[in-house]
Amino acid sequence: MVMNRSWSNRKTPVIGILTARKKDGLIAGNGTLFMELQKKLISLNGISFIFTLDGVHQEAIDGFIFNPERNGWEKITTPFPDLVYNRIPFRRSEEELKRSMFFASLKEKNIPFFNPGFIDKSELYHLFKNHPFLHTFIPATIPANHKQMLSAFLSHHQSIYLKPSRSARGNGIFKLELDTEKKIQIKGLIEYHEFISFDYFWEEWESRLLENKYLAQEEIKSILYEGKRIDFRILAHAENNHYKVTGIGIRQSQKQDITTHIPSGGRLLPYELLQNEEYDLFFETLVQHIGASLSETFGFFGEFSIDMGISQSGQYYIYEVNSKPMSFDETDIEERKIEHLCQLFLELTGKNKD
């Protein structure tokens, strides 16, 4: 199917959703999100399509468009869109994007690029550490690349997390603990190891820590609900040069306390269970500072999610910021996400709803 530019006079945007191919050549990404965005945009008299970098040509793009009437995808060749929404799911694919001439093409055509890319945990930590407001909410963190420094850090905190700089969804995270007999215990979602000393631990784990550029972060003793640790997951979107909370969920650990992520066995709780005016105000203030800081440093971020907790002493802590949020299990938050994204598309392209 060849689509012409007859829609260019519409008052709503044409959105190109950039994704990537899996190793088997199939299109990757959040198919449900892509379909729901298309349905919403059609209701606004707009349209969207998905594409990968290998489908980009000098003046046209080969991609795929979702047809709700047929409930299926159709191949298309189309002119460049009004805006490109970055939903590349793989870091290796983003590295290919950075080496390509695609950004130059968008700049030449004056096409906005929505969300610069994945956030490296080391870069995020240094950004927030030097921020006048956000530095207060960062757990103590060091690079896990020096034996003596890591040993001293563990001795001071007794229990720490090891996190790879370039990962998401709790992948590769471990808890490192020093027990009363000075033995070293390291726990993952599946793995468990014990060492009689830090020297033995370092000998076995040094290459892994260095290769994946691990960070070490103090463990925060989070508030409990019914005896189990809980964290907050906050979704935020840009709107009229500000950032607003789109939705908040609570995740509770169950069989393990390393992470509260649902895929790792965490439990979903409604935010209303603990909601109060103080939390509401703090989360709204937090997303404004984080959004502004990210966009000023890395380029415009239209959306992000935050994983954070509250210590048993009442201190707020930021654990992660995700530039390409996973789907929320709360259907109402997912619905608001689609609504806010489409309204942001309208804003960024300068086109107004009929």
For residue 278, the domain's CATH number is: 3.30.470.20
Residue 347 included in any domain: no
Yes or no: say if 169 and 326 are a contact pair by the CB < 8 Å rule.
Answer: yes
Model pLDDT, residue 309: 94
Residues 125, 263, single domain; the answer is yes
Yes or no: say if 148 and 105 are a contact pair by the CB < 8 Å rule.
Answer: no
Residues 130, 225, single domain; the answer is yes
Residues 99, 10, single domain; the answer is yes
Model pLDDT, residue 340: 96
The residue among 341, 279, 29, 33 whose CA lies nearest residue 349 is 341
23-32, 270-279, 343-352 — which is least confidently predicted?
A: 343-352
Residue 106 included in any domain: yes
The residue among 212, 70, 214 whose CA lies nearest residue 154 is 214
**Percent of the chain residues topping a pLDDT of 90:** 69
Residues 111, 14, single domain; the answer is yes
Residues 11, 97, single domain; the answer is yes
Q: Which residues are CB-neighbours of 243 under 8 A, at least 6 positions away?
A: 236, 237, 287, 288, 290, 291, 292
CB-based burial label for 313 (10 Å; 0-12, 13-18, 19+): exposed
Residues 206, 225, single domain; the answer is no
Residues 193, 262, single domain; the answer is no
- DSSP state letter for 29: S
Model pLDDT, residue 345: 93
Residue 11 included in any domain: yes
pLDDT digits (tens, 9 = 90+) for 153-192: 999 999 999 999 876 666 788 999 988 777 999 988 788 8
Beta strands in 202-272 (DSSP E): 214-218, 224-225, 228-239, 242-252, 267-270
In the predicted model, what is the mean pLDDT of residues 204-211?
94
Residues 163, 279, single domain; the answer is no
- The domain tally of the chain equals 3
Print the domain residue range for 275.
121-138+221-323
pTM: 0.90
In the predicted model, what is the mean pLDDT of residues 137-160?
95
Residues 102, 33, single domain; the answer is yes
- What pLDDT band is residue 5 in, cutting at 50, 70 and 90? very low
In the predicted model, what is the mean pLDDT of residues 326-348?
93
Q: For residue 85, what are the β-bridge partners?
A: 17, 114
CATH number of the domain to which 92 belongs: 3.40.50
Residues 100, 165, single domain; the answer is no
